[in-house]
Amino acid sequence: MLRFKPNPSKVSQKSKSVRNNQNAILCSECKHWFHAKCLQMSTLSFKFYLDQPNLDWTCLMCSLPRLNDSFFSEEMDSIDRILEASKERKYANQQMADINDINNEDNTSEFNQFISRRKKKPSEVLLIHLNINSLQNKFEELKSISDEAKPHIIFISETKIDVSYPNDQFHLPGYYMYRRDRKKEVAGFWLTFTPLYPRKS
């Protein structure tokens, strides 16, 4: 427990009382207050404990292991708990990795199904819209999607490019391009379309 201005009548540390204008921290074990300054606790550390009221702090004396007949058995229990926690953490990490693999497989299979449907019905007009958040960093990925899906229109928002990027840098062969830039790192859009619209016979 931490107090910014503890009650001086209830606070003592080595016969020094903690006044209202001093930072102090309460040991959760012995229930004694300690000056943050005497502990050489940085302002950042003190603020951390202040922001975490549910976090217990233990003084140095209370942090030492209890030396009694059961010391070694307690130590072994601690090691067993550490090993058990390590196994649980390893298991949890493996579970998360498996979930991520499944999600990635699902995303890949969805894209593959989309490409498969697209190949079966290439005459349907396909428009792709992406909020890409920086075109210059993702253009190769966009080009790869375009090569696979063969869309008729691609509309990109949040391009975050300016006039310092030439049109040739973002040209897709077989497409016309129109772009509307703003300042670099701010919005903008990019539109590209093919002149070969599918026709019904």
Nearest to 135 by CA among 91, 190, 90: 190
Q: Flag whether 72 is in a domain.
A: no
Whether 59 maps to a domain, the answer reads yes
Position 86 scores a pLDDT of: 75
- Partners of 153 in the beta sheet? 127, 193
Q: Rounded CA gap, 128 and 146, in Å?
A: 9
**Distance between CA atoms of 158 and 188, rounded to whole angstroms?**
5
Positive or negative, the CA dihedral 121, 127, 129, 135 is positive
Q: Which residue range is the domain that position 21 belongs to?
A: 2-63
Residue 133, in any domain of the structure: yes
* Total tally of structural domains belonging to the chain: 2
Percentage of the chain lying above the pLDDT 70 cut: 76
Lowest mean pLDDT among 13-17, 32-36, 111-115, 124-128: 13-17
In a domain, 132, yes or no: yes
Quick one: tokens of 22? 């001093």
Within a domain: residue 25? yes
Contacts of 33 (CB under 8 A, 6+ apart): 3, 6, 10, 11, 12, 13, 18, 24, 25, 26, 27
pLDDT in tens, 130-144: 888 888 888 888 888
pLDDT of residue 13: 44
Rounded to whole angstroms, the Cα distance separating 87 from 97 reads 15
Task: Kindly tell me if the per-residue pLDDT of 160 is higher than 80.
Answer: yes
Burial class (CB in 10 A: 0-12, 13-18, 19+), 18: buried
In-domain check, residue 58: yes
How many angstroms separate the CA atoms of 182 and 88, rounded?
51
Q: What is the spatial distance between Cα 169 and Cα 74, in angstroms, rounded to a whole number?
A: 67
Q: What pLDDT was estimated at residue 1?
A: 46
Spatial contact of 27 and 59, defined as CB atoms under 8 Å apart = yes
The domain spanning residue 53 has which CATH number?
3.30.40.10
pLDDT value at position 98? 66
Q: What is the mean pLDDT of residues 101-106?
A: 59
Q: How far apart are CA 72 and CA 109, in angstroms?
A: 55
Region 191-197 average pLDDT: 76
What pLDDT score was predicted for residue 201?
44
User: Please, which residues have CB within 8 angstroms of residue 123's CB and are 6 or more apart in sequence?
Assistant: 198, 200
Q: What percent of the residues of the chain are helix, what percent strand, and what percent coil, each to the nearest 5?
A: 40, 15, 45
Mean pLDDT of 76-85: 71
